[in-house]
C-alpha cells in the first residue's frame, strides 16, 4: 500500500494526506462537550440508575449500624462527685454545696416524673454530680434502690434527658426452720428469719392457729422462700413459697399458687371465714375458763372468751366479714364492738381504747375496728374477745369453723404436682433439721 501511494503524483498524495488527517481528527473529537469540575461528578450520573461503588476499607476498620443501646453506651462518661444527704438536707442545700444554681435545680426537677422523685431523698443516700466545662450540670446520678439507678444528663439542646439503669434480679429459693423452745418469735429469729417473715408466716396460718395462745414448746416450723441477688450479691428476701407448722402434733401446710394465695396440699384455701385471733400474737393473760377467778372482784365468774394482753393502741381487727350490730360503751365492757357474721356467728371485742366503726357498718375480715385499751372494769390494757355460735359462747381456740372453698378442678390439676414437690422438700428439710439438732 505504501509502495502504491509513493508512485502517485504529488497532487494526489496531498489529497490523500488531507483526507487521512480529517478522519483522525474526527475520531479524536468527544461526543459531547466535556466539563472539568470536581463538583460535577454527581451530575454526570443518571437519575434512577444503580451504580456499584468500590470502597476501599482498612482491614482494622469495622462498619457497624448503631442501635439505641450502642448509642447510649457511646454517651460521654463523666467524672461524678458524690454528695451524701445529711439530716435536715433538701435539694436546694445539696445543689448549692455541689456548686449549682437554684435555676438548674428547678429545671432538672421539673423535667419529668422521674426527676421529681429526687424531692423524696432521705439521709444517707448519695447524689452524684458531674460538671461541664462551662460550669453547668452535665449529669446527675441517684441510686434509687439496689437495682435501679437514675441518670439525668444534659443534651445538646440544653435540656435534660433521663434514663434508669436497672440491674437484673436473680431469684433463688432458700429454706429455714426450727423448733420452738420459748416463743415462736424468738425461735424464728434464732432460725434466721426476719421480723417481716415471722409476721407473714403467722398471717398464712392465722386462720388455723392462734399464735398468741396455741403455741407450745416442741412445735416445729419450716418454710421455703425466695432470696434475691444482684450481681451475685444478696439484696433481700422475697415471698414465702411454701410453709408448714406442726402445732401440738397437728401439721398445717400451705403452698403458694400462681394466683398469689396459699392453699392446703389438697387445694383448699388457707383463707377461712374467721381468723383465730383478732390481734397480732403477743401473749395471753387469761385463757377460756368458765370457772376462773375474776381479777377485780375476786369472785368466780365465767370467762367466756380470751384476753389478749397488749399495749394500748395495738390494732384490733375483725376476725371475719360481717356487720357491726353494736358499738358503744358500758361500765364493765368499756368501749366495745359486737359484729354479726351471718345468722350463726357473733364476735365481741371489749375494753377498747378507741372504736373505729359504728353500729350498722359493714366490715371485712382483717379490717381495723379499734385499738387495745383498758376501759371498763379491767386491771390493765388488753382485748377481751368472745365467739358465739347460735347465741352460745364457744372457745375461740377450738371452735370448728366453716371449711374454705377448694380450687377449681382444672386449677387443682396444675397445683397438685407443684404442691407435692414442695411437700417433699419441706419434709426433707425437717428431717435434716432434726438430724442436725441431735
Per-residue pLDDT tens over the stretch 85-116 = 999 999 999 999 999 999 999 999 999 988 99
% of the chain residues with pLDDT over 70: 77
Q: If you search the block for the grid coordinates 371485712, which residue do you land on?
A: 364
pLDDT of 8: 53
pLDDT of 16: 56
Res. 356 pLDDT band, cuts 50 70 90: very high
Q: Is the pTM of this model over 0.95?
A: no
Average pLDDT over residues 322-333: 96
The Cα–Cα gap between 297 and 287 comes to 18
CATH hierarchy code of domain 76-166: 3.10.450.350
pLDDT of 212: 79
Q: Which residues contact 128 (CB under 8 A, 6 or more apart)?
A: 80, 81, 82, 83, 140, 141, 142
pLDDT of 350: 97
Res. 310 pLDDT band, cuts 50 70 90: confident
pLDDT of 74: 52
- Whether residue 142 contacts residue 130, with contact meaning beta carbons closer than 8 Å, is answered with no
Residue-wise pLDDT tens digits, 375-422: 998 888 999 999 999 999 998 888 888 888 889 999 999 999 999 999
pLDDT of 18: 56
Of the candidate ranges 12-16, 155-159, 224-228, 302-306, the one whose mean pLDDT is the lowest: 12-16
pLDDT of 183: 85
Residue 91's H or E segment, with its range, is helix 91-98
Q: If you search the block for the grid coordinates 440508575, which residue do you land on?
A: 49
- Whether residue 255 contacts residue 265, with contact meaning beta carbons closer than 8 Å, is answered with yes
Average pLDDT over residues 206-229: 91
For residue 174, CA distances in Å to 112, 170, 191, 200, 360 come to 40, 13, 12, 16, 47
% of the chain residues with pLDDT over 90: 57
Q: Which residues pair with 242 in a beta bridge?
A: 224, 255
61 or 339, which is more confident:
339
Kind of pairing between the strands at 382-389 and 306-309: antiparallel
Assigned CATH topology for domain 168-272+403-438:
Nuclear Transport Factor 2; Chain: A, (3.10.450)
Q: Which residue from 359, 204, 198 is spatially nearest to 276, judged by alpha carbons?
A: 204
pLDDT of 336: 98
CATH hierarchy code of domain 283-394: 2.70.70.10
Is residue 233 scored above 80 in pLDDT? yes
Of the candidate ranges 174-183, 324-333, 427-436, the one whose mean pLDDT is the lowest: 427-436
Produce one character per residue of 174-190: b if its CB has 16 or more CB atoms within 10 Å, e if not.
ebbbbbbeebbbebbee
Q: Would the CATH topology of 76-166 be identical to that of 283-394?
A: no
- The whole-chain average pLDDT of the chain stands at 81
Domain boundaries along the sequence of the chain = 76-166, 168-272+403-438, 283-394
Res. 330 pLDDT band, cuts 50 70 90: very high
Average pLDDT over residues 12-40: 47
Amino acid at each position: 500500500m505504501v509502495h502504491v501511494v509513493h508512485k502517485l503524483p504529488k497532487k494526489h498524495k496531498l489529497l490523500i494526506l488531507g483526507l487521512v488527517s480529517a478522519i483522525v481528527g474526527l475520531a479524536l473529537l468527544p461526543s459531547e462537550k466535556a466539563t472539568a469540575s470536581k463538583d460535577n461528578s454527581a451530575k454526570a450520573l443518571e437519575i434512577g440508575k444503580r451504580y456499584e461503588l468500590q470502597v476501599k476499607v482498612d482491614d482494622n476498620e469495622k462498619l457497624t449500624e448503631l442501635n439505641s443501646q450502642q448509642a447510649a453506651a457511646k454517651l460521654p462518661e463523666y467524672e461524678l462527685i458524690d454528695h451524701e444527704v445529711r439530716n435536715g438536707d433538701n435539694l436546694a442545700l445539696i445543689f448549692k454545696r455541689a456548686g449549682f444554681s437554684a435555676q438548674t435545680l428547678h429545671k432538672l426537677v421539673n423535667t419529668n416524673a422521674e426527676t421529681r422523685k429526687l424531692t423524696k431523698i432521705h439521709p444517707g443516700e448519695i447524689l452524684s454530680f458531674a460538671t461541664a466545662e462551662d460550669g453547668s450540670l452535665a449529669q446527675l446520678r441517684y441510686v434509687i434502690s439496689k437495682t435501679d439507678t437514675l441518670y439525668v444528663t444534659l443534651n445538646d439542646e440544653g435540656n435534660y434527658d433521663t434514663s434508669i439503669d436497672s440491674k437484673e434480679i436473680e431469684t433463688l429459693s432458700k429454706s429455714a426452720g426450727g423448733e420452738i423452745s420459748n416463743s415462736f418469735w424468738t425461735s424464728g429469729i434464732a432460725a434466721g428469719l426476719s421480723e417481716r417473715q415471722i409476721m407473714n408466716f403467722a398471717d398464712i396460718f392465722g386462720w388455723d392457729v392462734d399464735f398468741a395462745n396455741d403455741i407450745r414448746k416442741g412445735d416445729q416450723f419450716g418454710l421455703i422462700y425466695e432470696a434475691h441477688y444482684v450481681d451475685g450479691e444478696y439484696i433481700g428476701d422475697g415471698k414465702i413459697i411454701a410453709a408448714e407448722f406442726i402445732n401440738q402434733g397437728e401439721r398445717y401446710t400451705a403452698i403458694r399458687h400462681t394466683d398469689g394465695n396459699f392453699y392446703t396440699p389438697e387445694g383448699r384455701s388457707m383463707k377461712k371465714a374467721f381468723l383465730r385471733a383478732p390481734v397480732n400474737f403477743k401473749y395471753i393473760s387469761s385463757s377460756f375458763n368458765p370457772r376462773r377467778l375474776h381479777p377485780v372482784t375476786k369472785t368466780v365468774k365465767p370467762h367466756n372468751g380470751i384476753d389478749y394482753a397488749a399495749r394500748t393502741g395495738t390494732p384490733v381487727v375483725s376476725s371475719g366479714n360481717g356487720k357491726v350490730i353494736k358499738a358503744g360503751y358500758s361500765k364493765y365492757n368499756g368501749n366495745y364492738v359486737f359484729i354479726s357474721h351471718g345468722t350463726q356467728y357473733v364476735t365481741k371485742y371489749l375494753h377498747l381504747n378507741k372504736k373505729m366503726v359504728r353500729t350498722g357498718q359493714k366490715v371485712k375480715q382483717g379490717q381495723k375496728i379499734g385499738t387495745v385499751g383498758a376501759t371498763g372494769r379491767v386491771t390493765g390494757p388488753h382485748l377481751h374477745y368472745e365467739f358465739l355460735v347460735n347465741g352460745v359462747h364457744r372457745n375461740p381456740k377450738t371452735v370448728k369453723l366453716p371449711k374454705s372453698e377448694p380450687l377449681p378442678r382444672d386449677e387443682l390439676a396444675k397445683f397438685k404436682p407443684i404442691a407435692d414437690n414442695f411437700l417433699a422438700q419441706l419434709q426433707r428439710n425437717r428431717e435434716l433439721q432434726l438430724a442436725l439438732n441431735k
